[in-house]
Each structure stands twice: as C-alpha cells, then as structure tokens.
Amino acid sequence: MAKIYYIGFYDTYEFEKEKRSISPAGRNKMEYIALTMANGGNCVNIFSPAWTAKKSGKFAKRTIMLSKNITLTVCQTFGANNMFMKFFRKYQPMCWLFGILVFTVSQRDTVMVYHAIPLMWPVYIAKKIRKFRLLFEVEEIYQDVNLHSKITNKMEYLMFDIADKYIFSTALLNKKINTKNKPYAIIHGTYQVEKARGNLFDDGDIHIVYAGTLEPRKGALMAVAIAEYLPKNYHVHIIGFGSSEDKKILQNKIKEISERSEAIVTYDGILKGEEYIEFLQKCHIGLSTQIPVAAYNETSFPSKILSYMANGLRVVSVRIKAIELSAIGNAVYYYDEQSPRAIANAVMAIDINDGYDSRVLIRKLDEKFKYEMKELLEN
C-alpha cells in the first residue's frame, strides 16, 4: 500500500521546551492538512527535521501517534553555542531526512513537502534518485521575502519544476509557478472552524487584535499606531512572537502611542493553543496590517486572516491581490492607504452588531478543500 510522507518543521506543544525550529502558523497548517488526509482514510507519516535553538542539551529522536492514521517522527538534535556546532546542528537533520527519503520511500509513495529553504537539497536529490511522487506545498516564494544566494534562488525554482503536484496558498502562486499545468489545490490557511469558547470582553469596548510576528516590517507597529486615531471605547491588543529586540521596539512604540491616545493599546504576550483561541474569541476585529509594497504580498496569503475568521472575527486588511482575489476576498474589510488613520477609519466603519458570522464561509471552504485533497491524492 502506498504511503504518504509529510515533510516539514513540526512538533507538538507537549515538547515545546525543546525549542525546535518551527513556526506556529506552519505547525497549524500542517496539522490541519494532515488531519484532512487522515480523515480521508490515508496513513500519514510526518517527518520533522526541526533542530533545537537551545545552546546546550541533547534531545532524542522520537516517534509518537498524533491521532488515528497520523504518526510524527522528530529527529535527534543537540544544543550549540558556537558557529561550527550551529552549522552541524542544522546539517545533521538534513542528512537524517535524506536517509529516510532514499532508504524508506518507494516510487509508489507520495512525499508531501512544506516548502522551506533547508529542505530543498535533500528532497531534490532524493527525488532524482528514488523517483517518488512529490507533492509540493508552497506558501510563498522565499526569494521574494529575503535575500538569498544565486544558487539558493535557482534551487528554489528547480524544486518548483521537479514537483509532480502542488498545494498553493494563493491562485497567484499557481499562476506564477505551475507553468506546466500540473495538478494542484489551493488552501489559504487552516479551515478548522473553532467552536465558541465563551463570551466577548464585557467592558463595553470594541476589541481589536493583531496576532502574529512582531517583526517590524510585518505590520505589528502599524497595528499599534492606529490607536492614536481611535476613540476611547476601542482597545487594540497585540499578541505574537518575536525576538527580544522586536519586543523592545514594540513596547517602546506602545508607550509612545499611549501617551497621546484615548484608545487603549496593549501587548498581551505570546499565546498558543487553547489560550490563543480563547483570546481571539474575546475580540471583535482582527487586523492584517502587513506592508503592501513588499514583493511577497503578490503571492503570499496572510494565514492570520483564516485564524481570525475561524474564530468568528471580522477582518480588516490592506487591499492586495492575494487577498482580494481569494475565496474569502468578499468577506474582508479593506483599507487602501498604508497609514494608521486609514486603518482606524476602516475599523470604525464596521458595525459589530450586524449578525455577521465568518465561520459559515470557513465551513464551506473546509468541505471544498477536503474534496480537492481527495482528488489530488487519487489522481
């Protein structure tokens, strides 16, 4: 029987003290897609080459059952505190992954890969050797996001070309990458509707949340700045992850804006799992405030939008093609000028008592993706 091997940087919250190299958004999307395949009757084997970010310690390889039909195997890793050992710490998992792809996977099997720069070389070479079926999951084109070497840029497109099938986050990515019209499916993010956990904040204010990376160029600072243009019955919450420097910059911006704002703006920390869901559901509006002129916005879909909608929030976003032309494009509130005042005006124009329920649309998208995924795996 053919198997499905799902390759990506993944781990469970149970082992988060190991500080492995994963992103919350990537983990959530992998989990959703794995469950979709498993619920369709497929056996899914997730292999994660995620190394630790710690400076010391050893962490063993482990294999666990995540749910019926899904297993997770995470590589062995170790802490490192100098340049040489940090290089070896990243090199070892790629060798481990290459060994699995060459010595375990057969031609009949499907290898599904969540696109990431470190995975390209072991996957590409193993595909050439073993001729397995490659389903490539592309969230964004990395050379549009950051500067990389010419070799890395070339390898990225070689990976796109060698894939047999694709999963894209936007139709624009399909148009740009899938020039040979290979089979594909499009999924903007996780379509897992979250049941209501409780009530909204009960202070009478309208609560707005920005969730995601605190990296300044991704929009967290812009979310803070809108508080200056909102009246006193609004509260802007920032939740998310970032470096210590990112947090320092954010806290300084919050302090600056709070001194002249009637609205409240707060950083509420890093929330995960159930805490994250419960917090979102206390709010009314979710913000997607990334910089519109960035190259990656032409093809990359902000996963936070689906998280907001799955929890019943209205979404305010910059107007970019990747969102406007998507399956949820007509359900989003847009602003056209990248300024705090324009975003605040878009927020204030929303009637939070209009009975809107974003979960209805997400349920429809969930059913549609289940069908498309079944077709993609069978054909």
Total domains in the chain come to: 2
Q: Containing domain of residue 166, as a range? A: 4-191+368-378
pTM: 0.85
- 21-to-47, 144, 274 alpha-carbon distances in Å: 14, 21, 21
320 assigned to some structural domain: yes
**Same domain for 22 and 84?**
yes
**Same domain for 248 and 276?**
yes
197 assigned to some structural domain: no
Residue ranges for the chain with pLDDT beneath 70: 1-2, 292-299
**Same domain for 219 and 351?**
yes
**Same domain for 234 and 107?**
no
Distance CA 283, CA 200 (A): 6
User: Given CA atoms 182, 370, 116, 318 in this order, what sign does their dihedral have?
Assistant: positive
198 assigned to some structural domain: no
**Same domain for 233 and 330?**
yes
**Same domain for 185 and 241?**
no
In contact, 182 and 165? CB cutoff 8 Å: yes
Partners of residue 47 on adjacent β-strands: 7, 73
201 assigned to some structural domain: no
Residue 146 is predicted with a pLDDT of 78
* Look-up of token digits 């505190």: 81
Distance CA 88, CA 110 (A): 29
Please name the helix (run of DSSP H) or strand (run of DSSP E) that holds residue 10, with its range, or none.
Answer: none
**Same domain for 170 and 226?**
no
Distance CA 329, CA 355 (A): 19
**Same domain for 139 and 233?**
no
Residue 199 is predicted with a pLDDT of 82
**Same domain for 305 and 242?**
yes
Distance CA 335, CA 352 (A): 17
- Residue 102: is it exposed, middle or buried by C-beta count within 10 angstroms (0-12/13-18/19+)? middle
- For 304, residues 6+ apart whose C-beta sits below 8 A from its C-beta are 25, 211, 212, 286, 288
Distance CA 219, CA 200 (A): 25
Q: Of 372, 378, 5, 8, which is closest to residue 191 (Cα–Cα)?
A: 372
CATH number of the domain encompassing residue 242: 3.40.50.2000
**Same domain for 272 and 352?**
yes
Q: Of 311, 236, 314, which is closest to residue 278 (Cα–Cα)?
A: 311
**Same domain for 217 and 348?**
yes
**Same domain for 154 and 10?**
yes
Residue 1 is predicted with a pLDDT of 53
Locate the DSSP E strands across 84-183. 110-114, 133-138, 165-168
17 assigned to some structural domain: yes
DSSP state of 279: H
